[in-house]
């Protein structure tokens, strides 16, 4: 009988504890469905708030982009007008000339560096008595000189071409002025 009584007490405690446990929503959290709903609501509000901020930032970015584009267009028009007045349609080919000069300078530096290396290798080879390596270096020096000469001829031809294009608009203006001067001096009144 004592066993039955003990069993009934244990079952009562377990039953009462299980219901209490189920109402609270888990171990020690103390939050039921109301807490979860509240968290979800806060998350949704934060999300909406961040989206609104993102849209405002995008709008500000678009406005700045439009302003920059307008300024760029204005500066481009002003620079085009100034360059057209001063130089003409060809705009002097300044960029091409500068780029060609930079290519020539780079090519000269490359040539000087390679020749210094090859000469140093040849010097070491002759000091050590390695004639085979010295001969190979001589052939490499000849190849490098040929390569450099070809490159410089091509770049100097390119530079001359740019210079001739630069000078053409000036020549055309001068020839127009001369022809206008000669025509204006020959103007005579027609016979009536």
pLDDT: which is higher, 9 or 34: 9
Residue with tokens 């609501």: 41
Q: Are 117 and 159 in a shared domain?
A: yes
Q: Are 104 and 146 in a shared domain?
A: yes
Res. 143: pLDDT tops 60: yes
Q: Tell me the DSSP string of 149-183.
A: HHHHHHHHHHHHHHHHHHHHHHHHHHHHHHHHHHH
Residue count of the chain: 192
Q: Give residue 191's pLDDT.
A: 53
Task: Supply the angle between the helices 131-185 and 94-128 in degrees, to the nearest 10.
Answer: 160
Q: Are 62 and 108 in a shared domain?
A: no
Mean pLDDT of 51-80: 68
Residue with tokens 């085009």: 80
Contact assessment for residue 140 and residue 118, using Cβ atoms and an 8 Å cutoff = yes
Res. 85: pLDDT tops 80: no
Taking the CB of residue 141, how many other CB atoms lie within 10 A of it? 16
Most confident of 1-5, 23-27, 64-68, 159-163: 159-163
Residue with tokens 């007490």: 9
Residue 186 lies in a domain: no
Mean pLDDT of 140-158: 93
Q: Would you give the DSSP letter of residue 44?
A: H
| Domain span at 65 | 45-86
Q: Give residue 7's pLDDT.
A: 75
């Amino acid at each position: 009988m004592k066993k039955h009584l003990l069993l009934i007490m244990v079952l009562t405690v377990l039953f009462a504890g299980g219901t209490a446990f189920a109402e609270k929503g888990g171990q020690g959290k103390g939050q039921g469905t109301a807490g979860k709903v509240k968290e979800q609501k806060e998350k949704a509000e934060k999300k909406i708030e961040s989206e609104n901020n993102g849209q405002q930032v995008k709008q500000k970015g678009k406005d700045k982009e439009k302003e920059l584009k307008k300024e760029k267009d204005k500066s481009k028009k002003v620079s085009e007008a100034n360059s057209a007045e001063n130089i003409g349609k060809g705009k002097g080919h300044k960029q091409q000339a500068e780029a060609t000069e930079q290519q020539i300078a780079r090519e000269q530096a490359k040539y000087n560096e390679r020749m210094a290396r090859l000469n140093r290798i040849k010097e070491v080879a002759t000091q050590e008595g390695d004639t085979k390596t010295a001969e190979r270096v001589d052939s490499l020096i000849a190849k490098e000189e040929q390569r450099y000469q070809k490159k410089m001829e091509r770049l100097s031809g390119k530079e001359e071409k740019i210079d001739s294009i630069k000078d053409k608009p000036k020549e055309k203006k001068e020839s127009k002025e001369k022809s206008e001067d000669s025509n204006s001096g020959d103007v005579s009144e027609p016979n009536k």
